[in-house]
Structure 1
Amino acid sequence: MGERTPVYEARNVSKSYGSVVALENASLSLHAGEVIGLVGDNGAGKSTLVKILSGALAPDDGTILMDGSEHSWKSPRDALESGVETLYQDAGLCPDLTVSGNVFLGREIRRPGVLGKLGFLDKQAMEREAAASLDRAGIGFAGVRRTVDQFSGGQRQAVAIGRAVAWARKVVILDEPTNHLGARQAGEVLNVMRRAKEQGLGVIFISHTLPHVLEATDRVVVLRLGRVVADRPTSSFTPDSLLKVITGLAEEAPL
């Protein structure tokens, strides 16, 4: 049986800012139902690659493929409409909106008929569907009517991740989702990632917290100075060996 086609792929992607090379022939492939960790030191090129994958930035060279077909994102909206959801470090939540309002931000359900045409929202439908979506993502939330500013940092992050998982059809990109969270809250986030994998989504997990990467991923891709220097099953790394590859203490041939 032939090898499966990746659900999402960056192939030989390069990007420069003037004379500064951010990415050089970097490749990354992601399969449905797989969680990969994207790691590297500051300045390794992770943020640039994430922006390219999310449609926020166009590569100078290289190809983006979804289900084996080449794509060229004009904007993040293009990627969103194709099933790629990205959660950046700032979470992108509106603190004055309710949980359901945040889950449906930009995708609001309008009331039927004339009222909908006048801009009235169907808040009850949004509350029901938000609660169901968060539950499917592995997040039990009793307060979808409460505003986000009433919750802890970990709960806010859970809402943001739940929203991304709920709307993603193919790929979820999570940029430092466990940053500044306690052990219990971080564990809940990792469980949401596992639930996304069980639902058949491909997950890209960017993190500096190596124990979380080693716990939650199937494969690890290491960037160093804009190049992919390792792409191996997570089980082949220990915390020490992964750190050495990231820092260059253990040299691997660029891929």
Structure 2
Amino acid sequence: MAAFALEVSGVAKRFGALTALRDVNLHVSRGEVLGLLGDNGAGKSTLVKVICGFHRLDSGQILVDGEPVSLRGVDHARSLGIDTVYQDLALVNELSVYHNMFLNREHRMGPLLNNRLMRRLAESHLHAMGVDIPDVTIEAAKLSGGQRQAIAVARSVYSDARILLLDEPLAAMGAKEATIILDLVADLKARGDVAIVIIAHNYAQALQVCDRINILQQGTITFDRPASETSVTELTDLMVAAYRTRRRDETGRA
């Protein structure tokens, strides 16, 4: 059996007296889309930051293609093909589309930027990924939310990301904009060489694009099931039940 593209095994992360993650076990294969659901404060963002090298884990291990890795930072994770697209930090508004595509890895001719080459490569890559941007010279600020996220995802894939973490890519988007990202994720899945983890709050959208669903509650994975074997109703009931239990425990302690 081929190794998982990404495996998280027994991972824990603490911040002083606060335990953000406890014995987290998670895996995703190439060509698979994993949906990571959970309430605010469940530990989703902390887990993503551990996987992308921003936070160091306190115990457990991370494996990439079956090999244990000790991540030294975000750049080290990127060198292993792990990249994250954050909903609110995707692009630099004042820069053009093509400059954003090559941010921090610009092509140069001596001391000068090779703008012609970067424009051509950006157009070619976006077209190949099915991202419709009529003019790559316009500022990112003039794009829709869906277009901005699509460019951020395309930039990560173009820079050889093979494990892609999408942190709330559909947040605050309308149906039309969300469709751009859902279609792009489906296209990446069809390629078969990228493993994708999506943090989401919209259960219907998660079930539409994901192969499996994990629920993270109070710092641990409590649910792991194929998307085809669950429903919006079941996921909602699970989250509501967990919320009521947590509130009851908090009230009892008080």
Indicate whether the TM-score tops 0.5.
Answer: yes
Q: Report the counterpart of residue 127 of structure 1 in structure 2.
A: 119
Q: Report the counterpart of residue 192 of structure 1 in structure 2.
A: 184
Q: Report the counterpart of residue 139 of structure 2 in structure 1.
A: 147
Q: Taking structure 2 as the reference length, what is the TM-score of the superposition?
A: 0.91
Q: Report the counterpart of residue 219 of structure 2 in structure 1.
A: 226
Cα offset, 1:231, TM superposition: 0.9
Q: Report the counterpart of residue 4 of structure 2 in structure 1.
A: 6
State the aligned residue count: 243
2:225 corresponds to which letter in structure 1? R
2:23 alignment partner, one of 18, 25, 50? 25
8 Å CA contact 1:41–1:247 kept in 2: the answer is no
8 Å CA contact 1:137–1:165 kept in 2: the answer is no
Q: Taking structure 1 as the reference length, what is the TM-score of the superposition?
A: 0.91
Q: How does 1:172-251 map to 2 (within 5 A)?
A: 172-199=164-191, 200-248=193-241
Deviation readout 1:144-174 (Å, 9 max, x if unpaired): 1111122223322222222223224311110
Cα offset, 1:195, TM superposition: 1.3
1:41 alignment partner, one of 39, 42, 66? 39
Higher mean Cα deviation, 233-242 or 128-137? 128-137
Deviation readout 1:14-40 (Å, 9 max, x if unpaired): 011111111100011110000000010
1:169 and 1:95 mapped to 2: Cα distance? 23
Cα offset, 1:84, TM superposition: 1.1
1:78 and 1:247 mapped to 2: Cα distance? 38
2:152 alignment partner, one of 140, 155, 160? 160
Cα offset, 1:95, TM superposition: 1.0
Deviation readout 1:102-134 (Å, 9 max, x if unpaired): 0000110112xxxx1xx2011111111111221
1:63 alignment partner, one of 61, 73, 87? 61
Spell out structure 1 runs of 4+ moving beyond 4 A. none
Q: Report the counterpart of residue 253 of structure 1 in structure 2.
A: none
Unaligned stretches of 5+ residues in structure 2? 244-254
- Change in Cα spacing, 1:144 to 1:10, as seen in structure 2 (3 Å) is same
Q: Secondary structure at the match of 2:94?
A: coil
2:145 and 2:66 mapped to 1: Cα distance? 38
Cα offset, 1:249, TM superposition: 5.0
Q: Report the counterpart of residue 92 of structure 1 in structure 2.
A: 90
Q: Secondary structure at the match of 2:113?
A: coil
8 Å CA contact 2:5–2:28 kept in 1: the answer is yes
Output the aligned Cα RMSD.
1.6
1:152 corresponds to which letter in structure 2? S
Unaligned stretches of 5+ residues in structure 1? 251-255
Aligned-pair identity (%): 36
Cα offset, 1:137, TM superposition: 2.3
8 Å CA contact 2:90–2:149 kept in 1: the answer is no
- Change in Cα spacing, 1:188 to 1:74, as seen in structure 2 (3 Å) is same
Deviation readout 1:174-195 (Å, 9 max, x if unpaired): 0010111110110110011111
